[in-house]
Structure formats: structure tokens, C-alpha cells
Amino acid sequence: MIGRALLAMAAIVALSVPAAAADLSVVVKGVRNGDGRVLLAVCTAATFLTPDCALQASAPAKGGAVTVVVHDVPPGRYAVQTYHDENGNKTLDRGLFGIPLEGIGFSNDAPIRFGPPDYAVAEISVAEPATGTAITLRYFTER
């Protein structure tokens, strides 16, 4: 009887403990001006390169480097995608042949050659209590 009561109490305590999470701090380098915002998404393999990444954050743009922090990221493996939304329309604007008109970047500074990188090249590990990384934006057009 006491054993069952202890098991029940342990189960209640386990359910009340918050899930483990980390803060992911990303320094986005190479921001060309202070127009708009820098938007960032932390993606699983299934959501990479889609608008469906559940973990997102943004910060006001400023020329040079901008730090964007994503809170409550469950520990695990992710790829980070970011862009400088210069005109504030919350869309990565594209020109002829789909070439981005705004700066873009990926974790590990994964190369962008004839298209976006593979998830495996951009994948990083996020651990408790905090993880930091840096991404350099690439602009393919002049303003």
C-alpha cells in the first residue's frame, strides 16, 4: 500500500516538473542596414526550408550584428534559418529565378550554392540551459 502511494506521488511530482528547455542565442552578422527586422526560425528536419518551423523569434535590424534569442527550445538537433526582412512584410522577397532580394543565412554558415543547403549541413545541437551560435547573412543583390 505504501509502495503504491509512493509511486503515485512520484508520478505527480514528475508531471509537475517543467519540460527541459534552452535559450538559443544567435548572433546574426552582416546585417546591411537598420531597416525592418531580422527574423529567425529554429527547424526540425521535417520543417527546414518551410514556413512551418514552430520556434521563431525576431529582433529589430541594425547595421552590423543583431542578436536574436529563441526561448524554450527543447534540447535536440535543429537547423536555423534567418533573413533580414528589410521591408517588414514578413516574407523573404525574391527576384528573377527566385534569387533572394533580402539577406539570408543558415546555421553553421552553411553554403548557399545554386539553392539552399541540406539540413545535415546546417544542423546544430541545442543543449540546456543555453546554446549560442552565429550566422552570417548573405545578400545576392544591391540596394
In contact, 93 and 108? CB cutoff 8 Å: no
Could you give the 3-state DSSP secondary structure of residue 139?
Answer: coil
Amino acid code (one letter) for 130: A
| Cβ neighbours around 22 below 10 Å, total | 18
Give the pLDDT of residue 79: 98
State how far the Cα of 102 lies from the Cα of 55, in Å rounded to an integer. 21
Instruction: Please state the rounded mean pLDDT for residues 95-116.
Output: 95
Q: Is the pLDDT of residue 48 over 90?
A: yes
Give the pLDDT of residue 142: 87
126 pLDDT band (50/70/90 cuts)?
A: very high
Could you give the 3-state DSSP secondary structure of residue 44?
Answer: coil
Residues 50-104: pLDDT tens digits?
Answer: 999 999 999 999 999 999 999 999 999 999 999 999 999 999 999 988 999 999 9
Give the pLDDT of residue 133: 98
Q: Which helix (DSSP H) or strand (DSSP E) does residue 13 occupy?
A: helix 2-16
* Residue 129 preceded by cis peptide, ω within 30: yes
Give the pLDDT of residue 4: 56
Residues 1-32: pLDDT tens digits?
Answer: 455 544 444 444 444 445 689 999 999 999 99
Give the pLDDT of residue 13: 43
Residues pairing with 78 in the sheet: 124
Instruction: Say what the pTM is.
Output: 0.85
Instruction: Please state the rounded mean pLDDT for residues 24-52.
Output: 97
What does each C-alpha distance from 67 to 4, 45, 47, 85, 126 come to in angstroms? 50, 24, 23, 15, 17
- Neighbouring residues of 126: CB distance < 8 A, sequence distance ≥ 6: 22, 24, 42, 73, 74, 75, 76, 77, 78
> Could you identify the residue written with the cell 534552452?
22
State how far the Cα of 143 lies from the Cα of 96, in Å rounded to an integer. 15
